[in-house]
Amino acid sequence: MQEKFYITTAISYPNGKPHIGHAYEAIAADAIARFHRLSGKDVRFQTGTDEHGLKMVQTARDKGVDVRDLCREMSDQFQAMCDTLNISYDNFQRTTDPMHHTASQAIWQAMAANGDLELGRYEGWYSVRDEAFYEEKELTLGEGGVKLSPQGTPVEWTVEENWRFKLSRYQEPLLKLYAEHPEFIQPDSRRNEVINFVKGGLQDLSVSRTSFDWGVKVPGSEGHVMYVWVDALTNYLTGLGYPDMDGDMAKYWPADLHLIGKDIVRFHAVYWPAFLMSAGLPLPKQVFGHGFLLARGGEKMSKSLGNVVDPIALAEQFGVDNLRYFLLREVSFGQDGSYSPEAIVTRCNAELANSFGNLAQRVLSMIAKNLDGELPELVTPPNGSADWELMTSISTDVHQTIIDFELLSFQGGMNEWIRAVYNCNQYIDSQAPWALRKTDPTRMQQVLGHLVAAIHLLAITIQPIIPTAAGELLDQLGIPRPPENTPEWLHHRGYEALNRTDWYEELRASGHRIAPPTPIFPRLDMPVDEPA
Ligand code: MSP
């Protein structure tokens, strides 16, 4: 049976426009989803918006608009961002969707049936910005003696009658989960933080609010809406049709990967598994907390600092694939990283335009010009030492790239990939097929044949990162775009390229002719500093 892979991003608060941090998470999740599709899995990919909570109410009030209208307008912007960035989501889940209310009430009832919810009085610290409750001991003092959450956001004293979830009951089961499944929280550094937090003792959690009504109604409890994180986390189930346990729930749950930022690991690695245990549902396999993308100079992005970067403007300026390539290449996944327009231009010009693009351009135009666009024969196994060296290094690098991508090490994988590209460029320079055209046309064909085989592998391997450009290159070569030419290629084709020619023969037999290529990776111009 086809293996499944269910991946989700966090659902964003649409109280402001999407920024580059949201784009980063969506791009990373998309690359992972595409990678798993490429390896033949039945992938389900969900993203969406988190539209309840006090923050949305306050933003709507400040803007003087109806909260529903704000949600619709802003959620559309998040969805448009995903579409612009070529994010291949299967479901964009909004929490204002009636299906989501049904799912949230169902998980609530399951937790209640397990005896984990009780009515009580809550007094404590609440951060509207984080939509989170904090303990006194977690707070720090900011300027002017203002109390701040661990995320640096202001907290306010809240007194309310509300429902409480018996989180304290789950301390031991959670610690057991982390011990038995070290892969549950990744990267490791985040796991240690969570373990320390849980070992420090878990307080019961306030899970309903009565001071406003913008949320999912608590079943059978007039005047209470659910604490926004209870319904937000449930989005991962809503999208699969929960509480119907057949259909997509049976097919895709539990999630294989919840991809989120480091600031919300606690909600996903502590509260969420506790809610699921309480409701008797299987637990996700992994929560990965990626790092933060920082503005120029390593500053945190914030509206008040005025350094929030609009991902759509960046995509328009540099191109979607360039932006995707840069973000995954530049930042070690899991760590924080920073971005600047100059760095995007330098990186993309060096690696995409001047190296991969130039390689493809040179090889394809030579075939178009000298062989009437017909693919040359591929000699396997490679017979000369240079050919052998090229093909072994390419297949080893591609194989390593695949292993790295599987482990979410984009930077490492792309490092191997670009090394393979450099090797091809060295090979083409040392073999000089343009000179062979007159002296030894058969040899020229052999050289071009190896290069086509190499470019084919390189294009498919990088396709999850730069799907449009890689797809165009495959089209120019006449190679069906993935996933049509998968599912097994990932594991075998790198090595098969050395010894087998059947896939290549098929390509030749298709009669595809390579037309004079149009460049796929145009050079970017260095941005000119705008006067401040
Ligand atoms: N609504 C909650 C998530 C609920 S998930 C059930 C939320 N929303 S958010 O809009 O604040 O953040 C959405 C995602 O973007 C989170 O994973 C967050 O960590 C991530 N990022 C927000 N700013 C970021 C950067 N500057 N850099 C990278 N990711 C960042 O939290």
The structural domains of the chain, with segments of one domain joined by +, span 4-290, 341-509
Residue nearest to atom 13 of ligand 1 (CA): 12
Q: What is the pLDDT, as a whole number, of residue 491?
A: 52
Residue nearest to atom 6 of ligand 1 (CA): 233
Asked whether 292 lines ligand 1 (CB < 6 A), one says yes
Residue nearest to atom 22 of ligand 1 (CA): 21
Check if the beta carbon of residue 20 is closer than 8 Å to that of residue 339.
yes
| Rounded Cα gap, residues 20 and 85, in angstroms | 11
Asked whether 50 lines ligand 1 (CB < 6 A), one says yes
Q: What is the pLDDT, as a whole number, of residue 532?
A: 45
Q: Is the peptide bond before 381 cis (omega within 30 degrees of 0)?
A: yes
Asked whether 284 lines ligand 1 (CB < 6 A), one says no
27, 29, 30, 36: CA torsion to nearest 10: 150
At 31, which amino acid appears? A
Residue % of the chain over a pLDDT of 70: 94
Distance 10 CA to ligand 1 centre (A): 6
Residue nearest to atom 16 of ligand 1 (CA): 261
| φ and ψ of 163, to 5 deg | -80, 140
Name the one residue in this structure whose structure tokens are 């038995």: 180
Which 8-state DSSP code applies to residue 5?
E
Which one, of 489, 507, 409, 465, lies nearest residue 40 by Cα? 489
- Number of Cβ atoms within 10 Å of the Cβ of 7: 24
Q: Which of 130, 260, 338 to mutate to test the pocket of ligand 1 (most atoms within 8 A of CB)?
A: 260
Asked whether 21 lines ligand 1 (CB < 6 A), one says yes
Q: Which of 263, 272, 276, 328 to mutate to test the pocket of ligand 1 (most atoms within 8 A of CB)?
A: 263
Check if the beta carbon of residue 189 is closer than 8 Å to that of residue 200.
no
Which residues lie below 8 Å from residue 385, measured CB to CB, with a gap of 6+?
Answer: none
Q: What is the pLDDT, as a whole number, of residue 503?
A: 72
| Helix spans in 200-263 (H) | 228-238, 247-252
For the chain, which ranges sit under pLDDT 70? Answer: 297, 301-307, 482-501, 529-532
Q: What is the pLDDT, as a whole number, of residue 507?
A: 81
**Homologous superfamily assigned to 341-509:** Isoleucyl-tRNA Synthetase; Domain 1 (1.10.730.10)
Distance 465 CA to ligand 1 centre (A): 21
Q: What is the pLDDT, as a whole number, of residue 506?
A: 81
Structure tokens at 16: 């402001």
- Number of Cβ atoms within 10 Å of the Cβ of 313: 10
Which one, of 312, 310, 328, lies nearest residue 320 by Cα? 312
How much is the pTM? 0.94
Check if the beta carbon of residue 411 is closer than 8 Å to that of residue 462.
no
Structure tokens at 462: 């990088």
Check if the beta carbon of residue 339 is closer than 8 Å to that of residue 479.
no
| Rounded Cα gap, residues 16 and 19, in angstroms | 9
Which one, of 513, 394, 528, 401, lies nearest residue 453 by Cα? 394
| Rounded Cα gap, residues 351 and 348, in angstroms | 5
Point out the ligand 1 atom lying closest to the alpha carbon of residue 12. 10
Which one, of 457, 458, 464, lies nearest residue 500 by Cα? 457
- 281-339 pLDDT, tens per residue? 999 999 999 999 987 767 776 666 666 788 999 999 999 999 999 999 999 999 999 88
CATH of domain 4-290: 3.40.50.620
